[in-house]
Amino acid sequence: MITLGVEEEYLLVDPVSGLPLPLVEDVRRTAGLGPLAGQDEVQDELLQAQIEVATPVCWTLDEVGGHLLRLRHALASAAEANGCRIAATGAAPLRGAAPVPVTRTPRYLRMEGAARQLVDEQLICGMHVHVGVPDAATGVAVLNRMRPWLPALLAMSVNSPLWDGRDTGFASWRTIVFGRWPVSGPPPHFDGPADYERRLTALVDSGVIGDRAQVYWQARLSDRYPTVELRCLDVQLRAEDAVMLAGVVRALVATAIAEEKAGRPPVPPAAPESAQAGNWHAARYGLDSALLDPRGPARGGGDVLSSLLRHLTPALEEAGDLRQVGALVHRLRREGTPADRQRRALADGGLPALLDLVTGAGDAED
């Protein structure tokens, strides 16, 4: 079994207006005092209307789901105690006239000084999946083999269609906002761990970014843990959907490791412009259009999902995750993406229905 862990970011919003509220310190303090969340599991983020949770290291998807539900409940209760709600949406549907204050740490203040408008508009929330790897060489090989599947993973997760009170036309507006940083989007193909390290060192030495943590590739090696970190996902409306994506990502890593050990050649790496175009297209349409298929030409989103599941079936079976992940992927195809659900809620019930949907993060699964 390969270990994994999940980080989720949420917005803190007014329960009536839906506007972001800069209450992270109050909510974090209240959550840390309760019985459900340790202080090390709840973190602040760049802006004071954002908050992040991190699960412990997990061995099973049931563990991941249990921790995510526990942490979502803890934050929902702490937010309610401080007059706000947590919103599990990839981008703030509404923003106030004044920017949300930056969390006052030296690093975040340096980022504000370097890119003020980008920081002001960073009201976006993602989900990161960490999967254990034995060493850097294996990790880089995993990154190369995962790279062709990043558009499909993004398309499965899209949950940020709204911005400034209107539909952006994108299923993941978060991806577009985040893509404005100097080093972001799909990672390059690496020639090995030395090439990976050389590229990161050159980026930091250039002065264009402040530190290695500002290498915002959609997949990278973690500097803090012996893991591959998958970062392309929007935060999910439901903890169950986060579990599904965590299971898919772990199976991708396990499959890549098995293929690498067996000496199976990877698919030829896509050119950088093709990888970027595939990423943009997935952010625009989610599963409602063609996706790049690592094993051939672009195909419909449902067909690419079927291809992905076939690719992952041995790893999912070995982990005991095939039935659970397969059922959740089937539900995704039947119900549509979280972005589809946001649009339906807004069309059916306006802003109140949308807020009810995205702030249901602390409730039981619907």
Could you tell me the CATH number of the domain that includes residue 336?
A: 3.30.590.20
User: ∠ CA(152), CA(248), CA(7), 5° rounding?
Assistant: 95
For residue 365, what pLDDT is reported?
41
* pLDDT, tens digit (0-9, with 9 covering 90-100), for 215-266: 999 999 999 999 999 999 999 999 999 999 999 999 999 999 999 999 999 9
Contact 234, 174 (CB under 8 A): yes
Q: Which residue has the tokens 């049931």?
A: 62
CA angle 11, 12, 17 (to 5 degrees): 110
What is the predicted pLDDT for the residue at 297?
77
For 8, phi and psi rounded to 5 degrees? -130, 140
Q: For 333-354, how does the pLDDT look when each residue is reduced to its tens digit (9 = 90+)?
A: 999 999 999 999 999 999 999 9
Using a pLDDT cut of 90, give the percent of the chain over it: 89
pLDDT at 362: 36
**pLDDT given for residue 293 in this prediction:** 80
pLDDT given at position 308: 95
Asked if residue 44 has pLDDT above 70, the reply is: yes
**Which of 37-46, 127-136, 298-307 shows the lowest mean pLDDT across its residues?**
37-46
Mean pLDDT value of segment 55-64: 97
Report, as an integer, the average pLDDT of 320-334.
Answer: 97
Count of domains in the chain? 1
Contacts (Cβ under 8 Å, ≥6 apart) of 312: 248, 251, 252, 255
**Residues 301-320 pLDDT 10s:** 999 999 999 999 999 999 99
Tell me if residue 185 falls in helix, strand or coil.
strand
Give the domain extent around 130. 4-362
Of the candidates 191, 153, 190, which has an alpha carbon nearest to the alpha carbon of residue 292?
Answer: 153
CB 311 within 8 A of CB 251: no
pLDDT of residue 296: 72
Confidence tier at 364 by pLDDT (50, 70, 90): very low
Flag whether pLDDT at 35 surpasses 70: no
Q: Kindly report, residue by residue over 95-109, the tens digit of the pLDDT.
A: 998 999 999 999 999
Output the average pLDDT for the chain: 94
